[in-house]
Structure 1
Amino acid sequence: MAGWLSRGVNAAWSLVGGAGRGVSDAADGLAGASFGTQRDAAFTRAISNAQGHFNRCPRCTAYVCSRCWNPGQGLCLHCSPDTAAEAQAAQQRGLNDSVTQRAYAAGQQQGGSYDATTPRQLVCPHCRAETRGGAFCPECGHQLAQTVSCSSCHQALPDGAAFCPACGTRR
């Protein structure tokens, strides 16, 4: 039984998606199994019925179902995509690209007022919440570590310093 089934599956596969042998080759392979003409005839009918649901692309030689077939061109949709669908997809890509470019330009304008040199702590060390660079944690209110600068010379002050080491101004 396993040999007959294996030969039948191999014959059907080569007919539908493989080497492209004809129905007679598949039926001849099963007839040699000597399991009776009724089974062979039933299998031959099944192959004939399946052939009506698939088209063979002359360009790439793939077998495809009717959903993947362009009947106007006589080719599969991989070789001959639907023009209207491709135009719609290209239009959507163009819209997305345009919106992306405009959003990028708006971000560049907003970035002009952002001080990129100021170090920011992005995660609260106390509760691990995302801080988005604020001075205090929005979840627990913990004061975040930020570099303090001298009000006179604007040099960075070390933590706990009472006086600026650069100019001597009291903190």
Structure 2
Amino acid sequence: MREDLHFSDNYRDLSQQYGTGAGFQFEFYCECCRDTWRSPFEPYRSGQASGWMREIGSFASNLLGGLGSGLDNAVEGLAKAGWGNARDEAFKRAIEAAQAHFHRCAKCHDYACDRCWNADSGLCQRCAPDLAAEVQAARLDGRLQAATESAREFGKGQAAQVDVRGERQLVCPACGHETRGGRFCPACGQALAAPARCGGCRAPLPAGSRFCPECGAPAGRAGAVPPPAPSS
């Protein structure tokens, strides 16, 4: 294949060398949106003949011994010998047809389809985005940012209603289910008290403590703090 051919890296070769379906076809794609276009199928007669002769040779081998196999190999060799030049010619014709469906960007040199092409500037949409589309996108982005900021400020106001000082049991002591900070277990309904506190300094007492880790008072003086009353 000649090195000066266009579309050297954005196509897929769908050609088939042998068999009754032998022929040339190439698939080109837009380097912006990846949409594809396929060239018209061109049959490769020598390859098709090889496929037909292979089927005939298989039948003839049963009747004529090695003669059928020899005919099959001869036609297949002819198809292989002419494949390279025939493919290159078909590829050049496919490129000429593809140029009607793609445009080469003067800046990035990528090939763009009609939908990704900015005809006013002669550049692809990535290098020269549509102004109206960019303005609309920026407007929607600004609206989203403003709405997000408003929601954040509203959330800060709601935070004042959240009890951030009261201790909550996160796991039910009765069934082991997660409580998510509730006053009652959502699985078994067990009332959940806040952790026990020292009767002297009111510091939280770890489970199983015999003495307060803050003031040293005996844990016997500690008492469980009842859950906070619901806010009105």
TM-score band (shorter)? Answer: 0.5 to 0.7
Equivalent of residue 140 in structure 2, options 92, 95, 107:
92
1:30 match: none
Give 1:93 shift. 1.1
Over 6 Å off, 4+ runs: none
Once the two structures are overlaid, the 10-residue window that deviates more, 119-128 or 81-90, is 119-128
2:184 match: 136
1:16 match: 7
Give 1:85 shift. 1.4
CA distance in 2, matches of 1:42, 1:160: 85
- Paired residues of 1:16 and 1:51 also in contact (CA < 8 A): no
String of CA shifts for 1:39-76, please: whole Å, max 9, x gaps.
55433221100111111111111111112111122110
SS of match in other structure, 1:16: coil
CA distance in 1, matches of 2:223, 2:96: 96
Structure 1 residue 114 corresponds to structure 2 residue 166: no
Measured on the aligned residues, the alpha-carbon RMSD in Å equals 3.7
2:202 match: 155
CA distance in 2, matches of 1:52, 1:141: 73
* Percent pairwise identity: 43
CA distance in 2, matches of 1:120, 1:153: 21
Counterpart of 2:143 in structure 1: which amino acid? Answer: L
Give 1:145 shift. 6.3
CA distance in 1, matches of 2:103, 2:92: 18
Structure whose CA Rg is larger:
2
CA distance in 1, matches of 2:134, 2:111: 22
Uncovered stretches (5+) of structure 1, i.e. residues with no partner: 1-6, 19-32
Give 1:79 shift. 0.5
Give 1:17 shift. 5.1
- Paired residues of 2:102 and 2:113 also in contact (CA < 8 A): yes
CA distance in 2, matches of 1:115, 1:75: 59
Counterpart of 1:16 in structure 2: which amino acid? Answer: F
Counterpart of 1:155 in structure 2: which amino acid? Answer: R
1:78 match: 126
Counterpart of 1:114 in structure 2: which amino acid? Answer: V
The 1:170/1:75 distance shift into structure 2, 3 A limit, reads: closer
CA distance in 1, matches of 2:185, 2:164: 20
Instruction: Give the structure, 1 or 2, with the largest relative contact order (CA under 8 Å, sep 6 or more).
Output: 2
CA distance in 1, matches of 2:170, 2:144: 30
- Paired residues of 2:197 and 2:223 also in contact (CA < 8 A): no
Q: TM-score, normalised by structure 1?
A: 0.63
CA distance in 2, matches of 1:89, 1:123: 47
Uncovered stretches (5+) of structure 2, i.e. residues with no partner: 10-80, 225-232
SS of match in other structure, 2:6: helix
CA distance in 1, matches of 2:172, 2:121: 62
Once the two structures are overlaid, the 10-residue window that deviates more, 119-128 or 107-116, is 119-128
- Paired residues of 1:17 and 1:62 also in contact (CA < 8 A): no
